Amino acid sequence: MTELLLYEAARAQLTVERIRPALAAGHTVICDRFADSTTAYQGAARGLGVDTVVPLHALATGGVLPQLTLVLDLSAEEGLQRAASARDKDRLELEPLAFHRRVRAGFLEIAGREPERVRLIDARGAEDDVAKRIQAAVEAQWSARP
Amino acid sequence: MTELLLYEAARAQLTVERIRPALAAGHTVICDRFADSTTAYQGAARGLGVDTVVPLHALATGGVLPQLTLVLDLSAEEGLQRAASARDKDRLELEPLAFHRRVRAGFLEIAGREPERVRLIDARGAEDDVAKRIQAAVEAQWSARP
């Protein structure tokens, strides 16, 4: 619960100090991790419950939520291998495999509930191939904008 | 909102690491500031709203809330004078007089809603006299316990 509230506190500050001014200036804002990650990590994998977490997102952000979330989907085993080779593990990456399986299940549940807003990207294979899949998903969303 | 969420995060950690174990060991726990202060400062004086703040207390503490809150009541002017002479001012004490008037109004509102649980202590006068008023309020609560 402490971890959840700290993430929401950080997000509240980020939203007011950075995201809202950027949106007001007409920019498109891209975040590496936002509310959907908290839903998957703290709501699903930590077991605090999606129904507990989702209202906090609205409170923390004042309703500024992503129009498009890209979930780079990979098996928990493969994802952990990539994270391990990239840099020192953080608090969440140090959790056991079962935790990361619950994280993935959490993301798949979010994508299942909101398939238009949350796009699953197959993250297997080469970086260039994954980048192409991301580009296609963003362009599809972009061309669909009013 | 960031400030509110940080207070709630700190309270979640304090409740799990200190308060729950102490209660489980049969101790009586006394806190200098707890959820009612957040209701008065962030809910009332900061204007986030009591209805926003109160559900967060339950979330952060898992329902561990005070059986008795003592509000040492003083005019905002006199309270600020005492705080100034005691030590360096903190973030909240640096707020202007109008803020501290809203804090006091917030506490009076809480006490009005829950007069049995929240006792107003007249904090004017000498320390010894205030201490006697506190003692009387605590003893009244103690003797009323089942």
Interface of B with A (CB under 8 A): 1-2, 5-6, 8-10, 12-13, 16, 52, 59-60, 62
| Phi and psi torsions of B34, nearest 5° | -155, -150
Cα separation, A135 vs A27, whole angstroms:
18
Q: Closest chain B residue to A9 measured between Cα atoms?
A: B2
Cα-trace Rg, chain B: 16
The size of the A-B interface in CB pairs under 8 A is 37
Write out the two tokens for B81: 């004078």
Q: Model confidence at B91, in pLDDT bands (50, 70, 90)?
A: confident
Cα separation, A47 vs B127, whole angstroms:
48
Query: What ipTM was predicted for this assembly?
Result: 0.87
- Among B1, B10, B60, whose Cβ lies nearest the Cβ of A60? B1
**pLDDT tens, position by position, A44-78:** 999 999 999 999 999 999 999 999 999 999 999 99
Cα separation, A87 vs A100, whole angstroms:
18
Contact B5, A9 (CB under 8 A): yes
Write out the two tokens for A97: 């495999």
Query: Which of A5, A8, A20 has the most B C-beta neighbours within 10 Å, making it the best mutation to test the interface with B?
Result: A5
Check whether B71 has a pLDDT greater than 90.
yes
pTM for the model stands at: 0.90
